[in-house]
A and B are shown apart, each in its own frame.
Chain A
Amino acid sequence: MSDIPKWAQEDFWRKMAIWVTAGMFVILIVLTFDSVAVITAGSDRVPAYNVINNRIYYRMDRERAIQAPVIGDEAPLFGKMLSEEEAQAMVSHGKLTVQAKNCMNCHTLLGNGAYYAPDLTKAWLDPAWGNEAIRERMMVEFLMDPNTNARGYGTGRKMPNLDITEEEAKAVVAFLKWMSAIDTTGFPAAFPSIAQEGDL
């Protein structure tokens, strides 16, 4: 139709749809290559799995104006230093357990999941575990027997017993410790960490 301006014609918009989609997809692919490299374990933002051998802090970074993880001195999980392979196996077992027990349909991880129970992103650093000397033991005991160790803070909500074995519980703790060392660009904000040796 010659009386329809070019910008309102079907043909013009068909071409726009194709070019815009293709262009955006190409940009996404380029950014994906970059992002995947940045989030591969062992990078600055997503640490190697053997970070669980160290103390992890979540401190204010004045320059970035957000809190960020800081890797401290040695503090082996359950008193045992692990190689990168051993650490990865343990964290992986923990993550498999987190998936197999469907944790994400009550909790959030990195803020994603369900909202019936607390976020687990910085669970390793939560002040609720009292102090760092008893934290590991308390976490394992809680995971294995959440009925007895329930802490609903007056909401009446309790985690169900999910038949988590001791080995699985320890692996989940390893996974949580490793996850707390991921640089999440300041999420969660203003988080009050548990007191740890070396705190400023």
Chain B
Amino acid sequence: MSAITVGEFNTAQLSGGQKLALKYFFVAIVLFAAQCLFGLLAGLQYVMPEFGYEWLDFSVNRMVHINAMVVWMLYGFIGSVYWLVEEEAGTELVGLTIANVAFWVLTLAVTIVVLVYLFVQTGPGEIETIWFINEGREYIEAPRWADIGIVICVGVFFYNVAGTFTKGKWSGISGVLVLDLVALAGMYLAGMFYTSNISMDQFWWWWVIHLWVEATWEVLVGCIMAWGLIKTLGASRKIVTTWLYIEVALMFGSGILGLGHHYFWIGTPEYWLSIGGFFSALEPIPLVAMVVHAVYDSGVHKFKNGNHPALAWLIAHAFGNFFGAGVWGFMHTLPQINLYTHGTQWTSSHGHLAFFGAYATIIIAVIYIALQKARGNVFMGAGLANSWRWKWSLVLLNVGVVGMTMALLIAGYEQSFVERALEGSSWSGYFAAQRTHWFLQGMYWREVWGVVTMAGLVLLIWDLLTIGAGETRSAPELIEEPAAA
């Protein structure tokens, strides 16, 4: 092993799983940039509708925007798990070679899918289009061949993770993590079939989308958060594990039947109005628990930590998750209001803050933890050279996304009033709402805040490439707090 120099980027000091994790993080950030770029293009089309007409239509930009997001977050999660699995299990990764092969296969598949989205775009109304071009179902547009590839690669990932824990040791965090991965992979299968019945289609489609985003992904980030607080603060494993169990009970206790809030208007029985309304109204509770947990643990340690950017992003995650997923979701989850907000910009307001707040933030935190190690456990505390970069990227990204959220919310309020309440969702009502100055101002401001977000991302990428370079101090040793005072 080569000598470790603090501050120098050197993968020789990393384990096999950690090197693989860095590859996943690299692709994740590339796709994050693609998400923001195509989001800006799609947003631009609201204010300049002639832009891209018939060569890069809104549907294409929007599809790449949301697919890049889903895939970069999955890459971020997979990378995070590969990063922590060996340390958590206390042994080397099982099946490293096949894990690397799966990474390249998955990345090749993603590349082909994106190129086909951009250059082929659509196909004839035949089953072959669904298999080879575009499935045409929001968020899971990937054609069927890619679905099968994804399932195989996720299978390899699961084998690596479960195998490593089985060979090494299990913990509370790893137990929850592995069971959650089983559910996460299993849900994807619910989206892999064709039916002519749109109600049936959407019923199972929500099994994938909701039970991922509002259940299994949340528990996955709960595991990452638990591990992250141990890593950054030296929090007690016993305490974070207990919190993790509480979060799982509350998350699955509310989120599984919270699925019902997507079953209000798709032809499904009316009992879903009560079940979906009630349980989805409870969904913010575990997110409050996560805020309390993160802030309490940070407070107990008087915010003394070994990695300032990572802890800052973990705190951003706790609040972003609560406000974006919790508060913004709750605002329009009851059927009495959802009848008027369903399918309006209100939803995209919620989507922007929730996906960023709940998921983008925590993946960025883990990447900072990984980079610290990749640079020889370099110091990342107060007084770090060029720390303005991580601070300003954090500010610009958060302010940018919150700005977009507010602009879209105003547009959504207006759309709900004019199109839904006044005009009853006719086509002329839809366009009447789209023409009003409130709506248009919302769209202009969304684009402005989108540019701010993009600036934050550029700064983030610069910081990720350079943070810790030239620093010679090592990170301080964290002493794990005793389980009970």
Contacts and interface: CB of A to CB of B under 8 A. Distances in A.
Nearest to B259: A28
A111 B435 contact: no
Interface in A109-164: 109-116, 118-119, 121-123, 126-128, 151-158, 160-164
B470 to A, nearest CB: 43
A147 B392 CA distance: 45
B346 to A, nearest CB: 9
Interface string A82-112: 0000001001111111111111111011111
A184 B267 contact: yes
B424 interface: yes
B137 A99 contact: yes
A96 B129 contact: yes
A78 interface: no
A186 B339 contact: yes
A38 B196 CA distance: 16
B257 interface: yes
Interface residues of B, number: 89
A185 B484 contact: no
B136 A115 contact: no
A71 to B, nearest CB: 15
B455 interface: no
B172 A128 contact: no
Contacts of A118: 425, 427, 430-431
A14 B342 contact: no
Contact of A16 (B46, B122, B245, B415): B245
Contacts of A196: none
A28 B256 contact: yes
A1 interface: yes
Contacts of A1: 483-484
A110 B205 CA distance: 13
Contacts of B248: 17, 21
B265 interface: yes
A9 B59 CA distance: 51
B13 interface: no
Contact of A153 (B121, B198, B270, B431): B431
A96 to B, nearest CB: 5
B249 interface: yes
B141 interface: yes
Q: Which are the 8 A-B pairs with shortest beta-carbon distances?
A: A97-B125, A99-B136, A153-B431, A188-B425, A92-B196, A111-B343, A13-B245, A187-B265
9 contacts: A20-B253, A40-B197, A95-B198, A100-B130, A101-B122, A105-B59, A127-B428, A158-B49, A184-B265
